[in-house]
Structure 1
Amino acid sequence: MNRTLEWTVRVELSEQDGTTRAEAVLDTGSAKLTGQGIARCSPQDPDVPAIGDEVAASRAMHDVAGQLMSVADRALGQAGAGRADEPAQPPYAWSDASP
């Protein structure tokens, strides 16, 4: 089977009082997944907005990626390729540190 798809991700960022919030929305054309991410600037750290943007956006996209992995895991289970009730394992070899 050959096919080509295009999925889009929109990331919206806002910053107020040293806290950056991000919302990432994955649109597959048939479904949307929304993730949230927050970054806070420590009072002793220099205020570099780009860093807060990067941290908050990466956390929001990590949230979406986890949701997408759960959707795929359930679909695999329903297709008979695994157990749908098993928790999804991190897809990479490194530690899955919490934000």
Structure 2
Amino acid sequence: MRRTVEWSIHLHLYEEDGTTRARAVLDTGTRTLTGQGTARCNPEDVDVPEIGDELAAGRAMDHLAGQLMRVADRDLESVGAGAPADRRTAYGWSDAMS
């Protein structure tokens, strides 16, 4: 079976008083998931906004990825398959993960 889909991720960044907050919104066409991330600049460090953006965005996408994996686990269980015991093993692509 061949299939092509496109999912959209919108990343929103907000900075105020040395704190950067990120919100990553994934739209699959059938579901929307939202990840959150925060980064704070240490008052003793040089304020480089791009670093706060990168940290907050990375954390928001990591949060989003965790949610997406939990959705996949539930979907697999609903069709009679279980989640892998070792999370480092990808579904159906265990050789590619070695």
Give the TM-score normalised by structure 1. Answer: 0.84
**Which segments of structure 1 move beyond 3 Å, counting only runs of 4 or more?**
86-92
In structure 2, the gaps of 5 or more residues are 91-98
Distance (whole Å) between structure 2 residues aligned to residue 89 and residue 48 of structure 1: 35
Residue 87 of structure 1 deviates from its aligned partner by 8.8
Indicate conservation of the 8 Å contact 1:69/1:88, yes or no: no
Say if 1:25 and 1:33, in contact at 8 Å, map to a contact too.
Answer: yes
Q: Deviations over 1:47-91 (max 9, x none)?
A: 0000000000000000110000000001111111116xx999366
Decide whether aligned partners of structure 1 residues 87 and 60 sit closer, same or farther in structure 2, where only a CA change above 3 A counts.
farther
SS of equivalent residue, structure 1 residue 39: strand
Match of 1:51, SS state, is helix
User: Distance in 1 between the 2:87 and 2:58 partners?
Assistant: 19
Distance 1:88 1:65, change over 3 A: farther
Q: 1:33 to 1:78 in 2, by over 3 A?
A: same
In 2 relative to 1, CA 19–62 (structure 1 residues): closer, same or farther, beyond 3 Å?
Answer: same
Query: Which stretches in structure 1 are left out of the alignment for 5+ residues?
Result: 93-99
| Count of paired positions | 90
Q: Secondary structure at the match of 1:45?
A: coil
TM-score of the superposed pair, with normalisation by structure 2: 0.84
Higher helix share: 2
How much identity, in percent, do the aligned residues show? 60
**RMSD across aligned positions (CA):** 2.1
Higher gyration radius (CA): 2
